[in-house]
Structures are given as C-alpha cells and as structure tokens.
Structure 1
Amino acid sequence: MEPAPFRSDIADGPADGQAWWRTTSDGVRIRIGLYNREAPKGTVFLFPGRTEYIEKYGRAANHLAAQGYATLAIDWRGQGLADRLLPDTMTGHVHHFSDYQLDVTEMVALAAEMDLPKPWHLLAHSMGGCIGLRALYLGLPVNSAVFSGPMWGVRISEILRPVAWSLSWGSRYVGMGHLYAPSTYGAPYVLNEPFETNKLTHDRDMYQYMIDQTLACPELGLGGPSLRWLHEALKETRDLARLPSPDLPCLNMTGTEEDIVCVPRIRGRMARWPGSRMVWVDGAKHEVLMEDEATQTDLFGQIGAFYDEHARPMRTANLEARAASAAPAR
C-alpha cells in the first residue's frame, strides 16, 4: 500500500493515525485513513460529508476508540486530498453519484487486505449518509449503521425546487455543469461564515477546530458544489426515497436545529425503517457529533452501545435481491 500524507498535528486523534492512497477502478486516486488499528471490538467505516476529510474526524476517532472501535475514514473523490475533478479545484463536483460507490469499494478492499477488526459498522454523516444508504442496498458488509444529519434529501424551498431541477439538469447539456450552484462560491464555508451565524455547530471550540485545520492545510478546503453535483444529488436522493429500508439495524441522530439537509426526508425514512431508532438532539445544528464535549460524549456513548448491541453477524436476508434492484442508473 502506498502511504499518503496524514496531518496528525491538526487531527487531534489517536496517536497511530495514518493514511494510504488507493486508485479506484475508473482511475481516481482517493485517500483512506485509519485510527486505532488494534481496537478490541471492531471497526467503524466513517463516511464523511461533502467538503470533509479524514483529519476532521480525529476527535470523533478518539471517542470511538474510547468505545473500543477503530475508525476507517475516507476522502471522497473531489475533496480532501483525493483527486479533484475540475480545473477549479475548489468546486465540489462528481460526474455520477454512483461513482462514490467505487470509492466505497476501495475502502472495503483496504479493510479486508488489512484484516481490520470485525465486526464492521457504518457511521455516515450528511452526504456520507446518502452514499452510505446506497452502499447498504449494495451489500456493504457491516452489522449496523449510524447516521448523523443524513443527506437523504437536499434542503431547498418548495418554490425553488423546480428551478433547481431544471437549472441543474439543463446545465449538463449546455456545457455549464462545472459552474457553481446558485448562491455558492469557491471558498471554504468555515473561513467565510462567522461563528455566530454558522449552521454547523453551537460549540465555538469545534468551529475553531475546523477553521484551524483549513488554515493549516489549505489543500483540504473546498467551496460550493457544482451544478452537476446538485443534479446528481437531487436525482440520487429522489431515487433512494422510493426504495424500502434496508434489513439492517439503524440509529439516526439529527439536530432539532438542522438547517442543511431535508428533515422531512429523514422523518419519512425513519418512520418506515423497522426496528430503527431516531434520536433528536435537542438544540444541535447539522454537526451533531461536533457540538460541545458533553454532547459528544453522550452521543458517542450511545453509538458505542448500539454497535455493541449488534456485534453478532449481520443480517443478510434478501440482500442480494435488494442490491440488484437498488443499483443506481447512470
């Protein structure tokens, strides 16, 4: 395996953190990182959100290590230190949302090659929640799944939703899919949005943690999404919403002040996920796992207990049939 850069100085995570390069089947170089390799209880596949990167979850990895778990995290294509997909490297872009599943394939392959501790579990945030839900349908080998503020719908006002669909769809056919989606631009959110008005966290220390990381390593930063990304996200979340819920234990944690992803889609999915648990985190914003330390300790304690509860072999009933029916169209 080819070692990749890893900024332990800004991650503030377990001391053994490291990263590797992997090349996907379509030739994109991504980065995968690991914390707490010798964990006694198993491994958490951590699927970050849009704009995020491995080091941002260093403190989360500390909490998971305290619960007895290793953390395997990823820089999705187009962000972090993975290959950027446009000449304007600040644009969050993807050609097809199904391409992210090629990144997942490499993540699973690396975990298998390294014989990481089992059982494996999923922890997916925001856009990672969209990618993670699709991965579950396609047979991601995990015993259980935890989602935080999952992007199961893109938050757009009902008045503007038809405009977003038509604009993002049309951009593909007139060579403008690379342009930024309306009201977004090519600069990292945390470097431009004051703490007082940010939509991520109430905790000033955690917000400063994100700012300091981006200042220390500017190449980790990312701006707004492209029109192509927006179209692909709208299409993927719509298609996922039409599918039955996976046959897998699920815990969802979403803040009562969520203002980035579509809350009605979260409510709808969880209402029809048998045996699932919904935790509304009172007063939390989008980054529920990056609120104050007491909230983090409580939520990661619940996550660890949930993983412990589902340490037995994963349920695989009807998995193959669902994977066949849930394969995303390009």
Structure 2
Amino acid sequence: MTFPKAPYHADVAAGPPHGRAHWVTTADGIPIRIGVWPEGTRGTLLIVPGRTEYIEKYSDAAVRMAAHGYASAVVDVRGQGLSPRATGDRKIGHVNDFSEFQADVDGILDLCTELDMPRPWHILGHSMGGLIALRALMRRPAVFRRAVFSAPMWGLQLTPHRRFMGWTVSAAAASLGFGEQSAPGSGKVADPAGAPFDGNLLTRDAEMFAWMKRQITTHPDLALGGPSIGWVWAALREMHACARAPAPVAPALTFLGTDEAIVSADAIHVRMGSWEDGTLEIIDGARHEALMENAVLRTKIYDRIAAHLNG
C-alpha cells in the first residue's frame, strides 16, 4: 500500500526529530492525516486526540514516550486538524455517527502495519478520543495490549435539564436536516485562537496554553471551533451505548483531574469500577488536559504511563 506524505508542521511541534505525517484513505474513502514518530523499540502508543485536537499538539507526548523507548502515532480524525471537514464552515466540528471514527482508527492501524511500527501496540485516548478508543478496544480487543485514557468523554457534565434538551433538540434538529449547523451555545468556543488563558477549562499551565494557541495562530487550518448539532446527537448516542457495554479486557490506566469541568467524573468512576484490570488515578489540581499541565506534572504522568505499558 502507498501512503503519500502529508504536511507536518515541525515549526510548532516539540519533536522528536523524525516526525512525519501521511495521508491514509479510510475504508469509506476519507483521506485522513496520520502522524508518526518512529523512535522507539519497546512498542508503539497509538493516540486518539480529543475534539478540536490534531497531530502537532501531541508532539510533546511523543517526545516523552520516546524517552521511555516507545514510538508514537497520532490521527487527525475526520473533521479535525488537516483531515477533511464535513461542513462548509471549517470551524464547525461535525460527524453524523461516531462509528465513522472507527474507520479512522482502522486507518492508523493500516499505516502502522505498513510502516512496521514496533509492537506491542497500545492505545491512548483523550476526551472524545477516549470514547473512540473505548469503542476501538471493544471492536478489536486482540490489537491493543494496554490502554490509557485522559479525562475520557464517557459522559458530559450536564444538568438534567441540559441533558434532556441535548437529547431532544439535537435529535429533532438532526432529523430535520439541521445536523451540520452549529450547536446552540457553542459560540463561546467558535474562535479558539482568541480564547484567553484566564478562565480556561483545559490547563493551569500558561506556557502550555500559549504553545497550543501558537500552533493554531501560526497554522489557522488546524483550528476548530464548536461542535455541530449532529455531533452532539452522535456523541450522546455513543456515550449511552458504550456505558451499557461490558468493559474491555485490556488493562487500562485512566487519569482524571480534580478540576475537571467538561466530562463527567461520575461516568469515569462508574466505568473504571467495572473494569476488571483498570486503575483510576486522580491528578490533584489538573484540569481537563492533564497531559498539558506543567512540566513536573507531565513528567510524573508519562513516567506512570510508561510503567503501565511496561507491565
């Protein structure tokens, strides 16, 4: 198989030095961008980012995993990064059904197979990527040796009223053909490049926040705003379905910050409580992106991830 080279913005990436990206056409015909950092011999960590995220944002993770002997691969899932956007407005994140993301996971597996990335393979999913990775583990349990999750989106922090409105409004709007329109209330995240550090829900570390912001101001095509109505409807259905499915068998390590304000901590506690070989680690003071907190905390987290994968 041939996987053409894709753009890789090394000017805003942290490394490692041999990072590159490829285009991979999925089984349903979508050309998605996948980044690889082949440095490592102990195995490969396949990373599924959260909503709005992209390859270069996980170059710091690749550097830290390479220091522990692991190669890394990251996917721009459809509708994010440089992979094709589904709507006429690039700032709206849209997908009709979360099952479409599984074709993107299969794409990263195809590329890693072709490149003979070191085995065993493990999977890490952050936020929305944690929901996608959970489904991937359920679909293909023999592929991944171990799993890591960072604030996985197994539920959202919604009041009962907002949850009811989310289900009813998104379902009705999508059925009437408005699925690609911006979800109500998403205007506050429509301009990620203009978001201030003060009051952000992602990280307490100003340096990491500035680094992430510099990536999307230098390369605006990476930026993504709020979700579509169809994305909300699809996400609610997938979270509901996965919550009722048995936990996968792969040993799992999950990180959750004490200052989490986006995903449901209760849903994470429930899922990890049902995981036969699962560990939930609470990160004091961390917000939604524990992997993007200060350097000392990131070192501790990646040391813990490496120890988990080595086990």
Q: Residue 287 in 1 paired to residue 289 in 2?
A: yes
Q: Kindly indicate whether the alpha-carbon contact (under 8 Å) linking 1:90 and 1:187 is maintained by their aligned counterparts in 2.
A: no
- 1:79-132 Cα shifts (integer Å, max 9, x gaps): 100011111111100011100000111110111111110111111100000000
Where do 4+ consecutive residues of structure 1 move more than 2 Å? Answer: 185-193
1:277 aligned to 255, 279, 283, which one? 279
Aligned residue number for residue 50 of structure 2: 49
Distance 1:284 1:25 in 2: 38
Aligned residue number for residue 209 of structure 2: 207
2:26 aligned to 15, 20, 24, which one? 24
SS at match of 1:172: helix
Q: Kindly indicate whether the alpha-carbon contact (under 8 Å) linking 2:55 and 2:76 is maintained by their aligned counterparts in 1.
A: yes
The Cα shift of 1:45 comes to 0.3
Aligned in 2, Cα 1:66/1:188: closer, same or farther, shift over 3 Å? farther
Could you tell me which runs of 5 or more consecutive residues in structure 2 were left unpaired when the two chains were aligned. Answer: none
Map 1:133-152 onto structure 2 (within 5 A): 133-140=134-141, 141-152=143-154
Aligned residues: 308
Aligned residue number for residue 73 of structure 2: 72
Tell me the TM-score normalised to structure 2 length.
0.97
SS at match of 2:130: helix
Could you tell me which runs of 5 or more consecutive residues in structure 1 were left unpaired when the two chains were aligned. Answer: 310-330
SS at match of 1:81: coil
- 1:222-253 Cα shifts (integer Å, max 9, x gaps): 01000000000000000000011111100000
Distance 1:251 1:189 in 2: 33
Read off the aligned partner of 2:25 and give its amino acid letter: T
Aligned residue number for residue 184 of structure 2: 182
Map 1:113-132 onto structure 2 (within 5 A): 113-132=114-133
Distance 1:55 1:170 in 2: 36
The Cα shift of 1:275 comes to 2.0
Distance 1:91 1:186 in 2: 12
Aligned sequence identity (%): 43
The Cα shift of 1:173 comes to 2.0
Aligned in 2, Cα 1:45/1:83: closer, same or farther, shift over 3 Å? same
The root-mean-square deviation of aligned C-alpha atoms, in Å, is 1.1
Read off the aligned partner of 2:122 and give its amino acid letter: H
- 1:35-93 Cα shifts (integer Å, max 9, x gaps): 1x141211000110000000001111111111110110000000100011111111100
Q: Kindly indicate whether the alpha-carbon contact (under 8 Å) linking 1:17 and 1:33 is maintained by their aligned counterparts in 2.
A: yes
1:243 aligned to 230, 238, 245, which one? 245
Q: Kindly indicate whether the alpha-carbon contact (under 8 Å) linking 2:122 and 2:146 is maintained by their aligned counterparts in 1.
A: yes
Map 1:291-302 onto structure 2 (within 5 A): 291-302=293-304
Read off the aligned partner of 1:237 and give its amino acid letter: M
Tell me the TM-score normalised to structure 1 length.
0.91
Q: Kindly indicate whether the alpha-carbon contact (under 8 Å) linking 1:86 and 1:178 is maintained by their aligned counterparts in 2.
A: yes
Aligned residue number for residue 254 of structure 2: 252
Read off the aligned partner of 1:96 and give its amino acid letter: D
Distance 2:101 2:188 in 1: 22
Aligned residue number for residue 153 of structure 1: 155
Aligned residue number for residue 82 of structure 1: 83
Q: Residue 107 in 1 paired to residue 108 in 2?
A: yes
SS at match of 1:197: coil
SS at match of 1:235: helix
SS at match of 1:196: coil
Distance 1:44 1:188 in 2: 31
